[in-house]
Structure 1
């Protein structure tokens, strides 16, 4: 089995630097992030130049599940069309269910038993809701219950934590773990948590996952940096993860980054997709 977390990088459009600086100035004091920068457009790494490469990489690896982040509606439509062997689950984070979204792609031989989505906020069922101290971007988690061809049933959680506020990242992570614990009390199953956490492994906001009591283990601990800013060493940082419980921990055989780049300097994303491989019995 293969499971992949893939921040595919939203199809960003240039905006005025003045507007961007105004947005940053409106944020609470002390807010910082590893991957915030003025969105000038992605040049040779624009979505239109990357999208066929992304599809080709997924087809080649043929993972059972992919947890995407930063998918916009038109990007989701393209992926659905080009990857007909997958079912895509997820909806937008805004009040109208639009905007960016974590989205789980499930290969056709994996049975989908249940799906739900909730917001990382004090009111998780309220569309568009956020924590009081957070960037303007709502955050969600997509949850799917799956049955593999060998019969193993498990739950997969795909999320994207806030990119600006450490407090929001920590609160979101605590909420995620509480939801997973509640789900496991109701129906004990193997679990997998993946996504872009926007925090390095040793950061204070990652303490809840380091200290978790669910048996979650970081299967990406040896990968090194996963965010690379399109090959810019000054931006290298590890912020993408796959955590799992048994039997995935014992069955884990390898973790690899998808690091391919064209001779013109076009990457799959500004993050390396992270693949975890398993030999399940």
Structure 2
């Protein structure tokens, strides 16, 4: 038996000078400390920009990375990057596409506010020779139509891949709640939410977006769970994997936070 630790983390890009105390220069080491404490083997990052990448390449030398296509037309650019430990995973194949009606063209899709991308990688687990497919994405924060179109495109691409028979992990900031059409669409295509599969539940303590400790949703309104917008999803038709645990990682040193999102970490048991 072997385990894989998988993380999804919207890290808040480095070029947001309006973040006050929580600008990247002041929270970068706390961000890295949080990643190290979780010790993931595989990471799906959202909002990674070049200054974030420089820090990670300096401090997280045990990882290799795949940036994929960029989601901005000028510096500092932005990527839904995949990082992995080559000691645990061997990269076999990879690809990337824009979430739009023309996925090979740099363009916004379905009235999205921003350019959006999906990045994928096909890995072999070093110890067991088992293989898996990882998709990482960041859906639009404004347009519901763009979120639906993006997920439908991802699922269409998955279905057409010969690797679709493999266990598939999807990480991302989906910018919608577990009560959304997007979430149900993943369920209809056989994906399970590792957070719920590990025995957790959606409640007032479940949000992953917190806006540096100042959540935009009032818990008094009973809607805190609706900000659980960062998920790790799993589809395993061969039943080779088992969800061992899943946590929303709330590491912080208020008023300093690693990001405006909490990362999610899931541990998967490989038979």
Question: What band does the TM-score fall into relative to the shorter chain?
Answer: 0.7 to 0.9
Structure 1 residues 122 and 144: alpha-carbon distance in aligned structure 2, compared to 1, 3 A threshold: same
Residue 50 of structure 1: how far off its partner (Å): 1.2
The answer for the alignment partner of 2:5 in structure 1 is 2
SS of structure 1 residue aligned to 2:147: helix
What SS does the corresponding residue of 1:251 show, helix, strand or coil?
strand
Distance 1:133 1:249 in 2: 39
What is the deviation of 1:153? 0.7
Provide structure 1 residue ranges, at least 5 long, that are not aligned to the other structure: 15-40
Deviation of 1:96 (Å): 6.7
Give matches, 1:191-202, under 5 Å.
191-202=168-179
3-state SS, counterpart of residue 101 of structure 1: coil
Q: Show CA shifts across 1:30-56 (max 9, x none).
A: xxxxxxxxxxx1122111111111212
Match in the other structure for 1:203: 180
1:172 corresponds to which of 143, 147, 150: 150
Distance 2:124 2:241 in 1: 19
CA contact (8 A) 1:219 1:249 kept: no
Shift of 1:258: 1.3
Instruction: Report the equivalent of 1:45.
Output: 22
2:245 is the alignment partner of 1:254: yes
When the two chains are superposed, the root-mean-square deviation of aligned CA atoms in Å is: 2.0
The corresponding residue for 1:102 is 80
Q: TM-score, normalised by structure 2?
A: 0.85
Q: Deviations over 1:180-218 (max 9, x none)?
A: 1111x4662111111000000112343321322xx2111
Match for residue 159 of structure 2?
A: 181
Contact 1:248 1:278 in 2 (8 A): no
Q: Given the superposition, is the C-alpha separation of residues 186 and 60 from structure 1 closer, same or farther in structure 2, using an over 3 Å criterion?
A: closer
Q: Secondary structure at the match of 2:35?
A: helix
CA separation in 1, counterparts of 2:20 and 2:166? 44
Contact 1:167 1:205 (8 Å CA) reproduced:
no
Aligned residues of 1:252 and 1:278 also touching (Cα < 8 A): yes
TM-score, normalised by the number of residues in structure 1: 0.83
Aligned positions, number: 249
